[in-house]
Structures are given as structure tokens and as C-alpha cells.
Structure 1
Amino acid sequence: MNKDDDLKIKSFFEERKRREEMEKDFIIHQGCAAFEEILKEVKERGSLNEADMYYGIPTPQLSFSEVELGYMLTSMMEYATNHVGNPVDEESEFENKRAFFEHKKEILQIYEVRGQGTDSWFEEPNEETINKLNNTAYGVYLIQFDDFINYYKNKVIK
């Protein structure tokens, strides 16, 4: 490996670390406000994902970018997968997984579907799912959003 290759590799890792630090800062400092804005939009539109930022009519009214919305989707799903696992929607014909986050007694669901690609979005869980989360062992999948924020506060980026 020559010197140019070493510099490219070092630059790649430095850029990745910088991006991870930006994601972490956004989640720590704006995560709660973002959750509330996402919830408001979901209640008005039914669901919200990055494409809505580009093509949504009406355009979502968020104080952050589609990239930051992507941070939230990706980071929350990864956190759920690593900490409590992901239930699936048995009625869906596609491979899927879900995650549930609660903040100030409001629940947001992330739904991820894999087909010829992967798509994920925020939505409100239906009444049956909310009852299962609150009244059965299924509640193990309900994550307190503050726990997610605290995880990021303590996360060390290497």
C-alpha cells in the first residue's frame, strides 16, 4: 500500500467519525424536539419518511433536514434492534421489522420493509398494538425515548 492509499483510508475514517459525531450531537441536542415534530407530522399525514421531505404534499413542517430525519430513523431502528429486538408484522408479505418508542406518553412506531430495497418510515401504531405494548409481555419492545437519548450521550465514537 502506498502513501496515497494510506491517506485515502485515513480520510475515509476521519469523515465517518465526523459524520457519526454530527449524528450524535443532533440526537442529543435536538432529539426530543425532533421526536415531537415527527409525531405531529405523523398524526397529520399518517406516516413520515425521508421521501416526504422531497416529494410530500404538503411538505412536512420540520425544523431539521431530511438527512437528520434519516439519522433519527436509522439510529432509532439500530438502537431497538440492538437493545430489545424487533417484532415483525406477520400479516405483511414482505420481510419487515418494527420498533416502538415512547416519549411523554406518545408512541411512535418505525416500520421497515425489505423487498427489492429497504424502506422505513415513522407511523403511529394502531390501537391493538398500543394495547399489546401497554398490557402484555409484548411491552418488552416499547423503548423509552429518554433511554435512547442517554445511550447517545454515553456513546463513545471511535
Structure 2
Amino acid sequence: MTKTEFNVNDILENYKRRDEERREFIIHEGYRAIEEIIKEVNQRGSLNEADIYYGTPRPQLSFSDVELGYMLTSMMEYATNHVGNPADEKCELENKLAYFKYKDEIVQIFEVYGQGTDSWFLKPSDDTVYKLNNTAYGVYLNQFDDFINYTKNKDNESKKVSYSTTILNDITGGYTVGRGSK
């Protein structure tokens, strides 16, 4: 029987690296990406990662399915944490929605939970756009510029924390010292 080593530091570093890649993509390519997403959604009606491989016709995007996933996940997390999420009552599966406005366009994110999670960008109905612009339902409308600025601020905070963590690790030799430790 072989012994498998489990290195927590490697897992944490890998997670940190992916999180940095996600933030870097959003900060530096987010505006271009949302313009391409909106263009594709207006043409196709919806867009998700599978469309990049299996879509007919294929979407004309300058970024990968992984980067599209970064946008979907990050924008949904932002909406959940800042305004909450309504649900589509017509859908039989558990779900949540998010709405983002960029310039004069509104894009919707639909996330469904079943035997896994799937999410995609979609063009909201005219009725939904009316409700977002003219009723209290508009509380769910996020500004894309606010999302980008939030991501930039999180990136700056992360760099400060990383620097502090590096200093702490240098001082403690990598050991975490908690309360009551001897």
C-alpha cells in the first residue's frame, strides 16, 4: 500500500494562484469580455462555457471557457453578496438570478442547482428589463463598473494581506501560532 502525502500548503497556494488569475482577468480584460459576452448573448440569446466547444455557430470570443467561467462565477458571487438574488419561480429546479448593466445593455446570469450547478449568461425578457428599470425589482440590478471596482479593491486588499502573511511566515518560520500556544 502506497502512502499519499497531502500537502495543505500546495492546495492553498494553488487556490490562491487561481484566485489571482481570476481577479487579473476581470481587472484587465473585464470590460472587453463583457462587451463580447453582450454581443454574443444578443445574437444567440444565451452563452455558457459549453458553447465555446459545442456551440453552433461557435461564439466569437477572444477568451477561453475558463475565463468565461471566471466572469460567471465572480459576477454571481458579487450579486449575491451585494444585492441578493431573486429566483425564477417558473423553473422547477432551485435557481438564482443576477442582473448586470453595462452602458445601456442588461445581461442576466441564470444559475441552476440540480445534480450539479450550471450557469449561463442570458438576454433578459423585455418584461424583466422594464421591471429592472421602472419598479422596486430594480434593486437587483448591478452596475458592471461597480463590479470591476470591487474586484480591483479586493485585489489591492489581497496584496496587502499577502505581504503581511509573508512577513508573519518569515517571523514564525511558517508555523501558525494561535491563542494559548506555548
Runs of 4+ residues deviating >3 angstroms: none
Query: How far apart in 2 are the matches of 1:108 and 1:61?
Result: 17
Q: Is 1:149 the counterpart of 2:148 in the alignment?
A: yes
- Name the aligned partner's letter for residue 27 of structure 1: I
Match of 2:122 in 1: 123
Correspondence for 2:168? none
CA RMSD of aligned residues (A): 1.1
Equivalent position of 1:41 in the other structure:
40
Structure 1 residues 38-117: aligned runs within 5 Å? 38-117=37-116
Larger relative contact order (CA 8 Å, sep ≥ 6): 1
Unaligned 5+ residue runs, structure 1?
none
TM-score w.r.t. the length of structure 1 is: 0.93
- 1:132 matched to which residue of 2? 131
**Cα offset for 1:116?**
2.2
- Secondary structure of 2:97's counterpart equals strand
Alignment of 1:8-47 (within 5 A): 8-47=7-46
Amino acid of the structure 2 residue aligned with 1:67: V
Matched to 2:127, the amino acid is E
Residue identity over aligned pairs, in percent, reads 67
Q: Using the alignment, how far apart are the partners of 1:104 and 1:126 within structure 2?
A: 18
| Deviation of the 1:53 alpha carbon | 0.8
CA distance in 2, matches of 1:9, 1:89: 39
CA-CA distance at 1:16 after TM superposition = 0.9
Q: What's 2:172 paired with?
A: none
Structure 2 unaligned regions, length at least 5:
162-182
Q: Give 1:84's aligned amino acid.
A: V
- Distance in 2 (CA, whole Å) between partners of 1:40 and 1:136 is 26
Larger Rg computed on CA atoms? 2
Q: How far did 1:113 drift?
A: 1.1
